[in-house]
Structure 1
Amino acid sequence: MSTVIEQSVQARMVASAPRMKTLPARLRYDRRDPFTVRMAFPARATLEGTEVSWEFSRELLADGLESAAGVGDVRIKPFGRDRTALEFHAAEGVAMVHVRTAELRRFLERAQKLVPAGDEHRFLDLDRSLTDLFGGTC
């Protein structure tokens, strides 16, 4: 059984212009890091010309599908009946994308099968985490 889930999604960049640009994005969940979801945007979709990846909690994503969630760099909230808005806050500004809620739910269902909510602690590799934290000297 694979320990990683990846899912491509189409995101729409929200801008002041009336037409929103569709961006490819990739969601990733790894049971070796069971609390974290990663969302990556390819280099061609960013102003810097390099891939940009954001990390946030699986719980934040699940909560944001139902009501506004998050107070930090990543904020998630429902937008209409079939979309979810994800806001990414950085020193350079704020980017907001819309993703179909059904795609996000499907991703979370797959993650739930891999690591049930509440069982994340069973999949933590504390030795590896401590070794990483101390630069490989544990």
Structure 2
Amino acid sequence: MNRIADHHIQGRVVMHGHADGVIPLRWIYDPRRPFAVTVDCGIDAVGARIVWTFARVALDVGRNRRVVDPGWVTVRPALGSGGRHVRLDLAPPGGEVCTLMVRRQPLDAFLNEAFGLVPAGGELEHLDWDLAATDLFGVSR
């Protein structure tokens, strides 16, 4: 069985420029999907699960400087936090941007574990092609 990095890290939700509270976030890295990280934000007000998957490199590089992931995710250091927080802007197509502020230290621990499972540059050696086909096309080979 494959080992995954699975961390529970709280985030502060900011909507319309106001902090709306702290929510538990589940950060997941699965070596079978070595290019991606997943953030499970839990259940919204209408009972839908909110899950974002985006490039691991965007999260890694975005801790230090602004990165825009093609999947409508922006990662950057939070202004005024002295490097202690990371800001993620999640922009669903046609939807309203949701900002998450996350403490950097536990995020660093999550990424350290992820890179321990699959080092940068070693992603193709771990990629599960059947799973990738299912993710992309909804069908198995």
Shorter-chain TM-score bucket reads 0.7 to 0.9
Q: Deviations over 1:23-64 (max 9, x none)?
A: 111000000000010001111xx2332210001111000011
Moved more, 70-79 or 99-108: 70-79
What is the alpha-carbon distance in structure 2 between the residues aligned to residue 22 and residue 83 of structure 1? 14
- Give the % identical residues: 29
Quote the offset at 1:125 in angstroms: 2.3
Is there any run of 5+ residues in structure 1 with no aligned partner, and where? none
Preserved CA contact (<8 Å) 2:12 2:21: yes
Aligned equivalent of 2:77? 78
Is there any run of 5+ residues in structure 2 with no aligned partner, and where? none
Quote the offset at 1:134 in angstroms: 7.2
Moved more, 28-37 or 127-136: 127-136
What is the alpha-carbon distance in structure 1 between the residues aligned to residue 42 and residue 76 of structure 2? 23
Aligned equivalent of 2:63? 65
What is the alpha-carbon distance in structure 1 between the residues aligned to residue 37 and residue 124 of structure 2? 15
Preserved CA contact (<8 Å) 1:3 1:32: no
Aligned equivalent of 2:126? 123
Give 3-state SS (helix, strand or coil) of 2:66's partner.
coil
Please give the TM-score of this superposition, normalised by the length of structure 2.
0.85
Aligned equivalent of 2:45? 47
Aligned equivalent of 2:98? 95
Q: Identify which of 89, 109, 116 aligns with 1:113.
A: 116
Question: Quick one: structure 1 residues 15 and 129, their matched pair in 2 at CA, closer, same or farther if it must change by over 3 Å?
Answer: closer
Quote the offset at 1:14 in angstroms: 1.1
Aligned equivalent of 1:33? 33
Return the index of the structure with the highest Cα Rg. 1
Q: Please give the root-mean-square deviation of Cα atoms over the aligned residues, in Å.
A: 2.1
Quote the offset at 1:127 in angstroms: 4.4
Please give the TM-score of this superposition, normalised by the length of structure 1.
0.87
Letter in 1 for 2:77: P
Letter in 2 for 1:129: A
Q: Deviations over 1:104-130 (max 9, x none)?
A: 111000001100111011101224534
